[in-house]
Each structure stands twice: as structure tokens, then as C-alpha cells.
Amino acid sequence: MDNLKPVRVNRNRLETNLQALAVYGHNGPSKGITRPFGSQADKEARAWLSTLWSRHLELQVHTDPIANLWVTIEGKENLPAIVVGSHHDTVTNGGMYDGAMGVLLATEVLQTIQEHGIQLRHPLKAVSFSGEEPNSFNVSTLGSKVATGKLSTEDLFEKRDNKGTVLFRETLHELGGDVGLLTNAIITNQEIGAFLECHIEQGKKLESKGLSLGVVTKIIGIYREKIIVIGEANHAGTTLMHHRYDALTAASELLLVAEKAIVACKSDEVVGTVGYLQVEPNSTNIIPGQVEFILEIRAVDSPYKERIIKEITKGFNEVAARRKVEVQREVILDQAPKPMNAELMQALEHGANQIGEQVARLISMAGHDAANVSDVTRSAMLFVSSVNGKSHCPDEFSRIEDIAKAGNALLEAVLYLDRKLD
Ligand code: HGY
Ligand code: MN
Ligand code: MN
């Protein structure tokens, strides 16, 4: 190694890899990428990544029982591994950076370390987690939940998709996983000493400060409820307005009740969304008989969440009684806000400073695998500025200059942690 010249990632290779991975699930010109867990595009992306890791890095790819993909460069000493990575699935018609960028930055760091002949003390692993985004099985951050013992074989064995037709275990099997062996996917802090996830910010804070990079202090808590409103399907012409039990107009009121309760918190660290809604039978001339939707509430501090739930419970009961519909509620996710590890945050800051970058410290309003991993071992995140703060849409964009800076800051942080951690 040439001591005078710092080791740097290969920006052109990084850009080529980002474009290559973006092909899988691409919906056509000016459109986004749809690559949910278990889809054909997911399978193709996995095959592409496995080839990249096995052919170009000449590392053996390990698919764990929840189909997380791992590669390892062995260390000189018998120490817990340093892990870098993110996820390769996408939302419906999403962008090419969310998740993919973190996996490819991890790849780039491993490859750079390898080609410079750097021998680390710790094993260095790259990971691409399975199903980070919401999917037809209604489980997000799937791979990291299983890896941190939050979901077991028992929880997932009989699980079906939201149409009730596809068995989770069969989809998992097609990806190389095995629902019967999920305990073998569990990670411990003896095996993994640090997890660093690079991700696009998906907001505008860094851009407004004129910074390329940020270090995450805390990952927002996410709460999701599946709500089913049961009314009565009937003829849209012959049923008088006061004889109707319209599940959709009732659901519309519920959405507004929720929005009002969220807005009443008057906090930029509390948001809520209904982004999924299914109307039955969804036909022009039939009064909707049933509506299913998912309400999501995100809050940095849990008391806000409790307050919103109290308010919506009151409001939902009032709407249900007045409109004579049934409202069934099921909590499908209740994830607390997660602070990131101070030592790793400092390492990322050090990494950025080594390449002459100042960083902001900021809260993540998006959920990430690092939140789950933080329950088991030290975790931290490095954010890259998102142009116009756009994400989960085709316009999602981060500049390759900023992405390359993240790669070099991550590389420096890994080298620093390799010296520092035991
Ligand atoms: O939904 C989220 O916050 C993340 O992008 N998965
Ligand atoms: Mn996302
Ligand atoms: Mn993501």
C-alpha cells in the first residue's frame, strides 16, 4: 500500500453498478423500479449481485435462511465482524438508490480494500437484507427482523400474502431461504461488532444545509395498523342515501380523523400516512361493502404515538357508531425509535472528515434495517443528500459525487473501526 496516497473507491465502477442493478424491475422509460420481496425482479437482482460478489470479488456468497445475502473477507484476528450493507428490494415504482446504493457502496468498500491488498484485523462483511420495504406479506425489514430474533419460524410458517393465495415459505424457498431454519439466521454481537448502513437521506435537510453527507442520530419509530371497515354492498342506483352503509365514505372519515390527530401534534417529527387502501368490490355501480387500509404513524418520541392512538380510537368509534359500520383494527408493526451507536457515529464523522467533508447529525424519518440491528449490536447510518428530497418515486436522485464521498467516508470509517474496535 502506498502510504502517501489515500485509498479511494472507484467512482466509475460504482456508477456502472448502480445503473446495472437498476435494470431489474425497471418499469420503462421515465418510470421507476418495482422490485418487491419475492418478485421476479428480486430474484434477478439477487442473481446479479451474487455474480458480482462471487466473480468480481471472488468471495463465496452465503444465503442465510431468510435469504439475506452475505459475503465475508476474513480478518487477521479472531474478532467480531464489521458489517456494511443495506437492502436491494424497492417499493412499487420507486427509485434506484433506496437500499441499492448502500449495498453497492458496501460492495465497493470490500472491493477497494481487496484490490489494495489491505489486511484487516476484523472480518469485513457485506450484506443485502431481504424485503426491507413493505411487500405483499405485510412485513417490512423482514431480513433484519428475522436476523435479530423478532420473527421466527412459528410466526412465518403459515403466513400468506394479503390475497391469501401465496405461502410465504414457498416464496422464501424460491429465494434460497428455508422457513424451518430461521434461528440459523440470527446474528449476535459476538459475531458482529458493528453495522454501518449507507442510505440516501430521502429528505431535504442535507440539501438545505449544502452538505453531501449526514450521520443519523436516531431512527424514527414506526407504527402500522391494518384497518378493515365493514359496511354493506348494495345497488348504487336503487339504494337511497339514508339506507346506505358505505364502507368507503366511512373509511374516508377515518383517514381524516387520523390526519387531524397527527397534525394536532404540531411536530415536524411526527407524520402519518395511508398509502394502501383496497375497496371491495371496487365496482362503479356497487356501494363499497368493505375497505381495507393501512394507517402508518411515525414519531421520533413515543408519547406522540400514544396520544394519536387515543385520539383516533375515540374518533373511529364515533364514525363507526354514526355510520353503523364495523371497524376492525390490527396492529401489524410497532417499532420504537432507535438511537444509533455513539462510537460508530463518531467513526462515520471521522471518516467524512478524513475526506474533507463536514457532516450534519440528523434524525432518520425513514425506517431502516439498522434500527433492528441496533437491538443486537452497534449500528449507525451515513446519509447521502437526496436531490429535492425525493424518494419512493422515480425522481429519487443522488449525485454520484456525493455517493462517491459516502463510499470514501465509509471506507475510512471501516479502516478506523478496524484499528479501534476489539
Ligand atoms: O418506509 C421506510 O421508511 C423505508 O424507506 N423502508
Ligand atoms: Mn424505502
Ligand atoms: Mn431503504
pLDDT in tens, 199-213: 999 999 999 999 999
Percentages helix, strand, coil for the chain, rounded to the nearest 5? 35, 25, 40
- Ligand 1 within 6 A of 367 CB? yes
Provide the pLDDT for residue 1.
47
| 3-state DSSP assignment of residue 24 | coil
Q: In this structure, are strands 290-299 and 270-280 parallel, antiparallel, or unpaired?
A: antiparallel
Band of residue 5 on the pLDDT scale cut at 50, 70, 90: confident
For 157-161, what is the mean pLDDT?
97
Provide the pLDDT for residue 4.
66
- Cα(201) to ligand 3 centroid in Å equals 9
- Cα(222) to ligand 1 centroid in Å equals 9
Residues within 5 A (CB) of ion ligand 3: 98-99
Is the pLDDT score of 118 beyond 60? yes
Band of residue 302 on the pLDDT scale cut at 50, 70, 90: confident
What confidence tens digit (pLDDT) does each residue in 263-301 have?
A: 999 999 999 999 999 999 999 999 999 999 999 999 998
pTM (global) more than 0.85: yes
- Ligand 1 within 6 A of 402 CB? no
Q: What long-range pairs does 260-269 form, CB within 8 A, spacing at least 24?
A: 260/311, 260/315, 261/307, 261/308, 261/311, 261/312, 261/315, 262/297, 262/308, 264/311, 265/299, 265/304, 265/307, 265/308, 267/299, 267/304, 269/220, 269/299, 269/300, 269/301, 269/304, 269/363, 269/365
What confidence tens digit (pLDDT) does each residue in 352-408 have?
A: 999 999 999 999 999 999 999 999 999 999 999 999 999 999 999 999 999 999 999
Q: In this structure, are strands 124-129 and 81-87 parallel, antiparallel, or unpaired?
A: parallel
What confidence tens digit (pLDDT) does each residue in 225-269 have?
A: 999 999 999 999 999 999 999 999 999 999 999 999 999 999 999
Probe residue for ligand 1, chosen from 198, 368, 386 as the CB with the greatest number of ligand atoms within 8 Å? 368
Band of residue 122 on the pLDDT scale cut at 50, 70, 90: very high
Provide the pLDDT for residue 301.
85
| Count of residues making up the chain | 422
Strand-pairing partners, residue 293, are 227, 277
- Ligand 1 within 6 A of 132 CB? yes
Spatial contact of 400 and 216, defined as CB atoms under 8 Å apart: no
- Ligand 1 within 6 A of 369 CB? no
Provide the pLDDT for residue 206.
98
For 7-15, what is the mean pLDDT?
98
- Cα(414) to ligand 2 centroid in Å equals 25
Mean pLDDT of the chain: 97
For 126-147, what is the mean pLDDT?
97
What confidence tens digit (pLDDT) does each residue in 318-351 have?
A: 999 999 999 999 999 999 999 999 999 999 999 9
- Ligand 1 within 6 A of 396 CB? no
Q: Which atom of ligand 1 is nearest to the CA of 133?
A: 6
Is the pLDDT score of 220 beyond 90? yes
- Cα(133) to ligand 2 centroid in Å equals 6
Provide the pLDDT for residue 76.
98
Percent of the chain beyond pLDDT 70?
Answer: 99
